[in-house]
Chains A and B, each alone.
Chain A
Amino acid sequence: MTRTGTPTAAGAPPPAAAPPGRFEFAPVAAVLVREWALYRRSWKPTTFAAVVEPVVMLLAFGVGLGSLVGIINGQPYIHFLGTGIVATSVLFTSMFPGLIDTYVRRVFQHTYDGMLAAPVDVRELVTGEAAWIAAKAGVYGCAPMLVAVGFGLPASPGMLLVPLIACATGFGFALAGIWMSALVPSIKTMDYIMSGLITPLFLIAGTFFPIDTLPPWAQAVARLNPLYHCVELVRGAVFGLGADDLGHLAGILVFAALMWCLAVFQMRRRLID
Chain B
Amino acid sequence: MPPPRDAAPSGSRTAGPDSPRRAAPAIALRGVVKRFGAFTAVDGLDLDVPEGIVMGLLGPNGAGKSTTMRMLTAQSRADAGEITVLGHAVPRAAKRARALMGVVPQHDNLDEELTVAENLEVFTHLYRVPRAHRAAAVQRALRIAHLEDRRDTRTDKLSGGMRRRLLIARGLVHRPRLALLDEPTVGLDPQVRQELWGVVTGLRDDGVTVLMSTHYIEEAERLSDEVALMAKGRVVVRGAPADLVAAHAGATVEEFRPGPDGPDALEQRVRAAGLASRRTGAHVAVLRAEALPPSLRDTLGAGDARAATLEDVFVALTGEAVE
Contact = CB atoms under 8 A, between A and B. Distances in A.
B77 interface: yes
Nearest to B85: A9
Contact of B10 (A2, A42, A109): A2
Contact of A116 (B73, B123, B127, B180): B73
A2 B11 contact: yes
B254 to A, nearest CB: 45
Contacts of A185: none
Given A9-B86, A38-B114, A117 B3 contact: no
B128 A119 contact: yes
Contact of A37 (B70, B108, B118): B118
A67 interface: no
Interface stretch (B90-98, B157-165, B261-269): B90-98
Interface stretch (A25-33, A51-59, A163-171, A226-234): A25-33
A33 B73 contact: no
A272 B93 contact: no
Contacts of A114: 103, 105, 109
By size class, the interface of chain A is 35 or more
B194 interface: no
B126 A27 contact: yes
Interface in A12-47: 14-16, 18, 20-21, 26-27, 29-31, 33-34, 37-38, 41-42
Given A27-B126, A271-B75, A16 B99 contact: yes
A126 to B, nearest CB: 15
Nearest to A272: B75
Main secondary structure of the interface of B (DSSP, over half): loop
A26 B76 CA distance: 23
A7 interface: yes
B113 A38 contact: yes
B21 interface: no
A117 B103 contact: yes
A121 interface: yes
Interface in A66-123: 109-111, 113-121
A11 interface: yes
A248 B76 CA distance: 41
Contact of A9 (B73, B88, B94, B107): B88
Contacts of B1: 10-11
B121 interface: yes
Contacts of A33: 121-122, 125
B49 to A, nearest CB: 15
A14 B74 CA distance: 17
Contacts of A29: 125
B126 to A, nearest CB: 4
Interface in B5-46: 5, 7, 9-13, 36
B4 interface: yes
A123 B74 CA distance: 14
B10 to A, nearest CB: 5
A26 B3 contact: no
Interface of A: 1-4, 6-11, 14-16, 18, 20-21, 26-27, 29-31, 33-34, 37-38, 41-42, 109-111, 113-121, 271-273
18 contacts: A1-B10, A2-B11, A7-B84, A7-B87, A11-B3, A16-B95, A16-B98, A34-B126, A37-B118, A38-B114, A41-B113, A42-B113, A113-B109, A114-B109, A115-B126, A117-B103, A119-B95, A120-B98
Interface of B: 1-5, 7, 9-13, 36, 70, 73-77, 82, 84, 86-89, 92-96, 98-100, 103, 105, 107-109, 111, 113-114, 118, 121-123, 125-128, 171, 174, 177, 180
Given A10-B3, A20-B92, A38-B114, 16 more contacts: A10-B1, A10-B2, A16-B95, A20-B94, A20-B95, A27-B126, A30-B126, A34-B126, A37-B118, A37-B122, A111-B109, A117-B73, A117-B180, A118-B126, A119-B127, A273-B70
